[in-house]
Amino acid sequence: MDRLNSRCLQYGISKSSSGGIDETCEREVAPEVEDEKQISKPPNPVAMESFHNRALDKFIETGQIDDELPGLEWAYQSLRRTTLRGMLKKLKFPRTLRVTRDFAQAVDTDDPADAYQHHVAYVLHIKPVLARHGDLPVVVIITQSDLEIHWSAIDKSKMVDLHLYNAKVTPEAARRVGHIYPLNIACSYTHPTTTRIALDLFAGQLYFGSYHEYIEVSSFLGLAYFDDAKDIEVDPDGFIPSHERHKIPAWHRHANQYWDTFDVSPVPFLKRFLGIVRSHGAGIEHTHMGRILDGERLGSKEFPDYKARGPEDVEPGVKTDRGARIETKAQRDRRMQMQGKRRREGGQESNAEPALKRPRLATSKSAEAAIVRAQNTSVPEAAADKSRVAATGSKEREK
């Protein structure tokens, strides 16, 4: 080997970079060693034990929330146990949704519980007939364990109703007539628009059932869904800052649109919440929610009932450049049509022509004096004066 190396040096051949020919040969014939990676996963957390919730018991019995009793907390604040805790401090969600302690904390761990969040399936709310005017009705989201423990009280309750909820996470679910179903057919879900939207978003809604719902959610989040926003400063994610919302056209400010919900863009929070917490890492960029959170505006391709709004769609009472708009022609036509429909249904409409109004006769001075005297006399005297007034009036007309 030494002679071979010296001979190579004699002819200007350098040594192998790996340290010699013997090492090269050894490397070629040596069997390849395959390394198998073994990932050590943390142990699964222990599930929290369910318990009898006194605060939920009182809500079922009286329809009121006792803040002094632990057991119920605000729905969006319950997400502080996830990696979204820092984002929650900047956002102010409507305080109309509550969850039980069992729903808020599914596992016993101090680490972020993004992968251990309950799905919204059971909803308790005040009976519509008992809701006070002006008060925001409270909605309480419960778990399967809460339902089993408190079922007898819920079944006998005269204050609350139980609904089954199905989040609109597929196009088929969004096209259904309803996504929240009462166990009692006579009950109805009649909560305000803000409560309904907050519940849908918390449950992980990804699709809209109509164009009307799309513009409700977009305005609730402060996102521009219209193209006529030339003079409005819009953020790259589509969020309209609060100091620019006074420029929104009047036909985009209906009674069921709440532009002032957020002062800070909720887009980063919702992207992470819907994509990581609710969808467990699945991509949402092709869904309705994913597209509007990316700044895209939906239209006629997504919704058959699409209709671009214009000045003729201004609601009554909304201030415009020309002053307050009382009523549009289209709204007047719809109102007259609905009034006629209600009269027909109530049997108030008949084929008979209305009776002609009798012309009012001119009152003479003597008749006026007799009427004044009649107010200060007894009933027989008043009747006599009235007859004299009638006779005097007829004589004057004959003249």
Exposure class string for 212-235: b at 16+ Cβ within 10 A, else e: ebbbbbbbbbbbbbbeebeebeee
Lowest mean pLDDT among 138-152, 283-297, 311-325: 311-325
> Residues 172, 53: one domain?
yes
Is residue 90 domain-resident?
yes
> Residues 379, 275: one domain?
no
> Residues 190, 221: one domain?
no
Is residue 193 domain-resident?
yes
> Residues 62, 166: one domain?
yes
Boundary (domain end) residue, out of 205, 231, 250: 205
Is residue 24 domain-resident?
no
What band does 306 get if pLDDT is binned at 50, 70 and 90?
Answer: confident
Boundary (domain end) residue, out of 205, 226, 250: 205
What band does 359 get if pLDDT is binned at 50, 70 and 90?
Answer: very low
C-alpha 291/C-alpha 68 separation (Å) is 42
Report residue 4: phi and psi, to 5°: -65, -40
Boundary (domain end) residue, out of 313, 331, 362: 313
Residue 393 has pLDDT above 60, yes or no: no
Lowest mean pLDDT among 7-11, 280-284, 351-355: 351-355
pLDDT reported for residue 138 = 81
Q: What is the mean pLDDT of residues 57-65?
A: 92
Q: Are 293 and 267 in contact (CB under 8 A)?
A: yes
C-alpha 205/C-alpha 76 separation (Å) is 15
Q: Are 93 and 197 in contact (CB under 8 A)?
A: no
Is residue 360 domain-resident?
no
> Residues 223, 158: one domain?
no
**By residue range, what is the domain housing residue 229?**
211-313
Report residue 156: phi and psi, to 5°: -95, -5
From 302, 299, 313, select the one nearest 225 (Cα to Cα).
299
Is residue 357 domain-resident?
no
pLDDT reported for residue 141 = 96
pLDDT reported for residue 355 = 44
181 vs 162, residue with greater confidence: 162
Find how far residue 260's CA is from the centre of its chain: 14
What is the C-alpha end-to-end distance of the chain, expressed in Å?
156
Q: How many residues does the chain have?
A: 399
Q: What is the DSSP string of 54-118?
A: HHHHHHHHHS---TTSTTEEETGGGGGGSTTHHHHTT----TTEEEEHHHH--EE-SS--TT--P
What band does 356 get if pLDDT is binned at 50, 70 and 90?
Answer: very low
Number of domains comprising the chain: 3
pLDDT reported for residue 135 = 64
> Residues 118, 236: one domain?
no
Residue 28 has pLDDT above 90, yes or no: no
What band does 105 get if pLDDT is binned at 50, 70 and 90?
Answer: very high
Is residue 8 domain-resident?
no
